[in-house]
Structure 1
Amino acid sequence: MALAFCLCMAEAILLFSPEHSLFFFCSRKARIGLHWVGQTLAILCAALGLGFIIASKTRSELPHLVSWHSWVGVLTLLATGGQALYGLCLLFPRAAGVSRVARLKLYHLTCGLVVYLMATVTVLLAMYSVWFQAQIKGGSWYLCLALPLYPALVIMHQISSSYLPRKKMEM
C-alpha cells in the first residue's frame, strides 16, 4: 500500500507540475491520461495491499481495525474512491451531468490534496507500528519518517501556489 500512495499517487499528482514532473514535455491531455493511469495503479495497488492485509490478519487470527493506522487507512481508502469518482465526473462531464466543470476541478484539486495528506498521515502512522519499529532502528527510522514528508510538502506547494485561488491583499 505504501507503493500505491507514496509512489503511484504522488507521481500521478506531480504530473501537472512543470518543475517536478518527468513528463513536462507532454500535452495537458496526455498528462491527464497519465494521471488516470497513475491513480488507477494506486487504487489497484491499494486494493491488492488491502487484500493481503485482510488475508494475513485472518490467517494469523488477529483482530482487524485495532490501530489508528488501520482506521485512518480505511478512511483514506474511502476518500480515494470518492476522489476517483470526482475524477470520472471530470473526465466525462456530460455523462455525469456536471454543468460547472471549473468548480468541480477546484473541488477535485482540494479534495485530492486532502486525500494525499491523509495517505501521508497513514504512512507516518504505519511507521509507529511495533512491526516497523522492530525492523528499522536508529537513524534509519528518522530517515524513513522524513521520506513521505518531502513529496507531501512539494505537492502542497504545487497545488496551493498553482491552482487554488488567492485572495488579493490590499495595503
Structure 2
Amino acid sequence: MVAHFAAVAFTGFMIYTAWPGSSLFSWHPTLMTIAMCLLMYEAITVFSPSSSLIVSWQRSTKANIHGYMMAASMCAAIGGFLVIFYNKQLNNKDHFTTWHGTMGLITLLWACAQSVGGLLLKYNGLIRSWNIRLVDMKLYHATSGLCAFTLVSVTIVLALFSDWFTGVATGTTWWGIFALLGCLSLTVMQQITTAYLPQSRVKPKPITSKQGKRRHTKKDQ
C-alpha cells in the first residue's frame, strides 16, 4: 500500500503544481505524470503478489486490466508529448535541446514498442511461425518493461531539475518528491527481477539407485 500511496502522492503533487488549464504547458507535466507514474505504474503492479490491489483475481483478468491501463497510459503520454511539441512550435523554440527532452522522446518510443510487444504477447498466435516459446516472450516483455520504467524514472529525474520544477519546488519538497519517485522505481525493479529473472542457485543432483550401489560396493571393499 505504501507504493500505491507514493504513486498517488507524486501524481497529485505534480497535478497541483502544474494546475492543468492554467496554460498550454500545464497539460504536459499533468498528462505525462498520469501516464507514467500512475497508469503505467499501476498496470505493472497488477501482477505483483505483494503490491497488487487485486492479488486474488485470475491472471487472465489481471492481464486484461494491465492491457487497458497501458493503453490509457500511452494515450495520455502521446497527448502530453503533442502538447509540449505544439507549445514549442507556438513559441518558436527548438525541439529536443535538453537531456529531458531527448530522454523523453526515447522513453516514449520505447514505451510504444513495449506496447506492441504486449499485443504480440497477448495474441501470440500471430507470431507462432517465429518459433518463440511463450515463456521466453514473457521474459523478454518483462525485461523490456523494466528498461522502459527505468527510462521513465531517468526522464522524470531530469524533469525535476528543469527551470519550471525547481521554481515551484525547493528544499525538503524537492527531496520528498525525489524519494517518492525512488519508491516507485524500486518497487517495479523488485517485482520484475523477483518474478522473472532466473535463479542462480544450483540444485544438487539426486543420487540414483545405481550410484548408491556403487558407493556401497566401494565401501565394502
TM (normalized to structure 2)?
0.74
Count the aligned residue pairs: 171
Q: Which residue number in structure 1 is paired with residue 49 of structure 2?
A: 18
Q: What secondary structure is seen at the aligned counterpart in 1 of 2:115?
A: helix
- Once the two structures are TM-superposed, the CA of residue 123 in structure 1 deviates from its matched residue by 0.6
Q: Distance in 2 between matches of 1:62 and 1:163?
A: 43
Q: Which residue number in structure 2 is paired with residue 154 of structure 1?
A: 187
Q: Which residue number in structure 1 is paired with residue 88 of structure 2?
A: 57
Which of 118, 129, 137 aligns to 1:87? It is: 118
Following TM superposition, the consecutive aligned residue runs of length 4 or more in structure 1 with deviations greater than 2 angstroms are 96-99
- Once the two structures are TM-superposed, the CA of residue 96 in structure 1 deviates from its matched residue by 2.6
Q: Which residue number in structure 2 is paired with residue 120 of structure 1?
A: 153
Q: Distance in 2 between matches of 1:168 and 1:36?
A: 33
Q: Identify if the C-alpha distance between structure 1 residues 13 and 60 changes in structure 2 by more than 3 Å, giving closer, same or farther.
A: same
Question: Over the residues paired in the alignment, what is the CA RMSD in angstroms?
Answer: 1.5
Which of 35, 55, 59 aligns to 1:4? It is: 35
Q: Distance in 2 between matches of 1:117 and 1:168?
A: 27
Q: Which amino acid aligns with 2:42?
A: E
Q: What secondary structure is seen at the aligned counterpart in 2 of 1:17?
A: coil
Q: What secondary structure is seen at the aligned counterpart in 2 of 1:95?
A: helix
2:170 matched to 1:137? yes
- Once the two structures are TM-superposed, the CA of residue 169 in structure 1 deviates from its matched residue by 5.2
Q: What secondary structure is seen at the aligned counterpart in 1 of 2:100?
A: helix
Matched residues, percent identical? 33
Q: Which amino acid aligns with 2:55?
A: F
Q: Which residue number in structure 2 is paired with residue 69 of structure 1?
A: 100
Q: Which amino acid aligns with 2:78?
A: A
Structure 1 stretches lacking a partner, 5+ long: none
After the TM superposition, which of the residue ranges 56-65 and 4-13 deviates more from structure 2? 56-65
Q: Distance in 1 between matches of 2:110 and 2:47?
A: 21
TM (normalized to structure 1)?
0.95
Structure 2 stretches lacking a partner, 5+ long: 1-31, 204-221
2:218 matched to 1:166? no
